[in-house]
């Protein structure tokens, strides 16, 4: 007789006290069950989904437990148990199941998996733990609106007020559709940051955040300079965006996001020197950003500063070595471009290969293609030398 009863489950997010949320698609099932057991588990899960959909949590838990007893690596059933316990308000149990999802998925884990775990921690008022999980989610999905907003809130709840302001500024740029909610939290975070900096004796930084309070407080429904910059960038009016950004930075040069956006806008406008200068200003404030360091090296290559770019990349790899291969992937790739620019195809191949082997989803594929290109250049160069030697 089958161990599975007609069952159910869902992948809808449970509501949280935060202002925004995100939806995570169901993952593909991966289990070590026997084929017949897996087929039965999948059928049982389809039935279990109905209970989750209508929020009949106890029935869902009973059905999903019967699945994982036989197929303990059934990812959707495991996630469904986390969702059901969260729906019941049993966030301690939800934590256990959502943690198991992350372990089961391994290298295939997605931002939504970390977000599920973070929301349970937040419900338990374990804000530092929630913050840590949202930081993992942000690394995988740096432009996700729900992740950015909720991370900003958790920075604030954990008393990392400066980081909260910076994250929410990014959210404001990326997610204008949630402008009012973001501005409201930005005002709170800037207020707390100003007070914290003043207590620490950093009067200049305190004044910067005080100015932000004036900028963001009560502006829901209005327009900020950041909004205008974002619109100019979206409309590809990069030169106009740089004018606005320079006006902002003339009033207060201690705005890392503004320097970074200016670097990107200047690059897109064809002002390589301006872009490199803006990147350097950005790194004076945010010295540990390996990803954007690689972007700066690429601009240097575009500006034909090939030897300088190669030296910069080498220094950066040494500087950020502790951040791991994934974080260094962009730098390896940029180093490869710099060496290619110098016609050092063998050296470029080595760096592209490191990027290809990094495991970074963004760079692995393009870097592998570049490895093939370098091999072609090396063959062509070798053939040219042999031909020259014959004459």
Name the most confidently modeled range: 68-77, 120-129, 252-261: 120-129
The C-alpha atoms of residue 17 and residue 337 are separated, in whole angstroms, by 46
- DSSP string spanning 193-247? HHHHHHHTT-HHHHHHHHHHHHHHTT-TTS--HHHHHHHHHHTT-HHHHHHHHHH
Would you say residue 28 has pLDDT above 50?
no
Query: What tens digit of pLDDT does each residue of 325-345 get?
Result: 888 999 999 999 999 999 999
Q: What is the CATH number of domain 1-140?
A: 1.25.40.10
pLDDT band at 27 (very low <50, low <70, confident <90, very high): very low
The pLDDT of 113-142, averaged and rounded, is: 96
Helix axes 345-356, 325-341, angle to 10 degrees: 160
Question: For residues 301 and 341, is the Cβ–Cβ distance under 8 A?
Answer: yes
Q: What percent of the chain has pLDDT over 90?
A: 61
Question: For residues 45 and 9, is the Cβ–Cβ distance under 8 A?
Answer: yes
Torsions phi, psi for 92 (to 5 deg): -65, -45
What is the pTM (predicted TM-score) of this model?
A: 0.55
Of 28-32, 144-148, 301-305, the least confident: 28-32
Helix axes 75-88, 91-105, angle to 10 degrees: 160
pLDDT value at position 8? Answer: 31
pLDDT band at 391 (very low <50, low <70, confident <90, very high): low
The C-alpha atoms of residue 299 and residue 276 are separated, in whole angstroms, by 7
pLDDT value at position 215? Answer: 72
Total length of the chain = 391
Of 79, 88, 84, give the one whose Cα is nearest residue 115. Answer: 79
Query: What tens digit of pLDDT does each residue of 162-181 get?
Result: 999 999 999 988 888 888 88
Domain boundaries, the chain: 1-140
The pLDDT of 129-144, averaged and rounded, is: 95
Torsions phi, psi for 8 (to 5 deg): -160, 170
pLDDT value at position 224? Answer: 62
Of 127, 135, 52, give the one whose Cα is nearest residue 97. Answer: 52
pLDDT value at position 13? Answer: 28
Sign of CA dihedral 180, 192, 217, 263: negative
């Amino acid at each position: 007789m089958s161990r599975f009863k007609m069952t159910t489950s869902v992948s809808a997010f449970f509501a949280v006290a935060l202002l925004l949320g995100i939806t995570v698609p169901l993952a593909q099932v991966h289990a070590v069950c026997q084929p017949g057991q897996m087929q039965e588990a999948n059928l049982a899960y389809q039935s279990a989904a109905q209970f989750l959909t209508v929020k009949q949590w106890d029935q869902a838990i009973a059905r999903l437990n019967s699945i994982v007893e036989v197929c303990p690596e059934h990812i959707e059933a495991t996630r469904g148990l986390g969702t059901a316990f969260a729906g019941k308000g049993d966030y301690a149990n939800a934590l256990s199941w959502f943690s198991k999802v992350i372990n089961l998925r391994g290298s295939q884990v997605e931002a939504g998996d970390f977000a599920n775990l973070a929301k349970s921690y937040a419900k338990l008022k374990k804000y530092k733990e929630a913050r840590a999980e949202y930081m993992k989610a942000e690394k995988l999905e740096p432009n996700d609106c729900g992740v950015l907003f909720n991370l900003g809130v958790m920075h604030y709840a954990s008393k990392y007020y400066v980081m909260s302001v910076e994250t929410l500024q990014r959210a404001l740029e990326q997610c204008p559709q949630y402008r009012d909610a973001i501005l409201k939290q930005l005002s709170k975070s800037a207020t707390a940051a100003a007070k914290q900096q003043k207590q620490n004796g950093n009067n200049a930084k305190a004044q910067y955040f005080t100015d932000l309070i004036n900028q963001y407080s009560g502006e829901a429904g209005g327009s900020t300079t950041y909004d205008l910059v974002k619109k100019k960038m979206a409309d590809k009016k990069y030169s106009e965006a740089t004018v606005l950004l320079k006006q902002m930075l003339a009033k207060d040069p201690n705005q890392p996001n503004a320097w970074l956006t200016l670097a990107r806008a200047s690059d897109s406008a064809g002002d390589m020197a301006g872009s490199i200068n803006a990147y350097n200003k950005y790194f004076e404030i945010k010295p540990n950003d390996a990803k954007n360091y690689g972007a700066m090296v690429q601009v240097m290559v575009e500006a034909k500063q090939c030897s300088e770019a190669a030296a910069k990349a080498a220094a950066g790899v040494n500087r950020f070595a502790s951040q791991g291969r994934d974080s260094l992937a962009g730098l390896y790739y940029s180093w490869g471009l710099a060496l290619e620019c110098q016609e050092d195809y063998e050296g470029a191949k080595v760096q592209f290969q490191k990027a290809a082997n990094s495991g970074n989803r963004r760079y692995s594929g393009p870097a592998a293609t570049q490895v093939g290109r370098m091999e072609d250049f090396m063959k062509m160069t070798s053939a040219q030398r042999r031909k020259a030697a014959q004459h």
